[in-house]
């Protein structure tokens, strides 16, 4: 029998919906344009209604061919391809896979299993932002703010380290996307073992009103999950 994904929790589902609501607010439309894609680190995508792909197809944010799932676990990708052959599946490292996607905007969910305080998280996020440098694109980078394998797992990394390194290390090298992406308020949520933070970037104009609306969305998310 097929195994369920460990990422189909209530918190995870609410976080996905939150990302889509942010996209809708920013772009004033409730679905991807037909030339846009949703690119994500996929893990297992089963046939249940709670899988990421089925959840977002169900709410009509996109059609399956607009979904691009990347994972370095070849077995998972093979299984996903059997479950959802209409979507695109890439078995590769995230940053390498991005080079092979025909992308011209949409939503990129870098839903990582990386610790937010590590330089690897920063460099991978930079690569993601460079790849996604198209107008109206939303990039959500999701990172672990605690390490469940150290001590009691409750020690929270300084959440600003990732953003400070991103914008301050050698800014000239990254000036292309620095000019185009705005850093939007971020949000946190807790899974059973780990505190996660989603850092949000928008390739477009952010008004104060929009920022306020996004803040209230993320406040609601916290209430919904906790």
Ligand X SMILES: C[S@@+](CC[C@H](N)C(=O)[O-])C[C@H]1O[C@@H](n2cnc3c(N)ncnc32)[C@H](O)[C@@H]1O
State the residues that interact with ligand X by CB under 6 A.
Answer: 5, 7, 12, 16, 40-43, 52, 70-73, 93-94, 111, 113
CA-CA-CA-CA torsion for 16, 20, 22, 23, nearest 10 degrees? 140
The span from the CA of 82 to the CA of 103, in Å, is 23
Nearer Cβ to ligand X, position 58 or 93?
93
Question: In angstroms, how far is CA 65 from the centroid of its own chain?
Answer: 18
Structure tokens that stand for 171 in this block: 């800014």
Taking the complex as a whole, the smallest distance from the CB of residue 43 to ligand X amounts, in Å, to: 3
- Per DSSP bridges, beta strands 67-71 and 37-41 are parallel
- Residue number with the shortest CB distance to ligand X? 43
Smallest gap from Cβ 111 to ligand X, in A, equals 4
Q: List the structure tokens of 40.
A: 């994500």
State the nearest-atom distance from the C-beta of 14 to ligand X, in Å.
11
Query: Is 147 or 180 the residue whose CB approaches ligand X more closely?
Result: 147
CB-nearer residue toward ligand X: 45 or 137? 45
The alpha-carbon radius of gyration of the chain (Å, integer) is 17
Instruction: Provide, rounded to whole angstroms, the least separation between the CB of residue 55 and ligand X.
Output: 8
Name the residue nearer to ligand X (CB basis): 77 or 210: 77
Shortest distance in whole angstroms from residue 195 CB to ligand X: 14
Residue with tokens 């990172």: 143
Toward ligand X, which CB reaches closer, 5 or 210? Answer: 5
Beta strands 195-202 and 138-144, pairing class = antiparallel
**Quick one: CA dihedral 203, 220, 61, 95, positive or negative?**
positive
């Amino acid at each position: 029998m097929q195994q369920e994904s460990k990422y189909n929790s209530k918190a995870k589902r609410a976080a996905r919906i939150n990302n889509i609501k942010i996209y809708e607010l920013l772009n004033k439309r409730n679905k991807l344009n037909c030339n846009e894609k949703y690119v994500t680190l996929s893990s297992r995508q089963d046939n249940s209604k709670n899988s990421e792909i089925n959840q977002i197809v169900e709410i009509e944010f996109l059609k399956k061919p607009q979904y691009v799932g990347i994972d370095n676990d070849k077995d998972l990708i093979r299984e996903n391809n059997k479950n959802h052959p209409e979507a695109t599946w890439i078995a590769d490292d995230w940053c390498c896979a991005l080079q092979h996607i025909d992308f011209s905007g949409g939503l990129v969910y870098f839903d990582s299993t990386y610790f937010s305080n590590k330089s690897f998280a920063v460099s991978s996020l930079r690569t993601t932002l460079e790849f996604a440098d198209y107008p109206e694109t939303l990039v959500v980078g999701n990172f672990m703010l605690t390490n469940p394998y150290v001590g009691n797992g409750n020690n929270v990394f300084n959440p600003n380290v990732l953003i400070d390194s991103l914008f301050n290390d050698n800014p000239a090298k990254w000036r292309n996307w620095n000019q185009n992406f705005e850093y939007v308020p971020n949000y946190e949520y807790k899974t059973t073992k780990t505190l996660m933070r989603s850092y949000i970037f928008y390739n477009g104009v952010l008004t104060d009103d929009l920022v306020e609306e996004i803040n209230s969305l993320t406040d609601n998310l916290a209430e919904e999950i906790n």
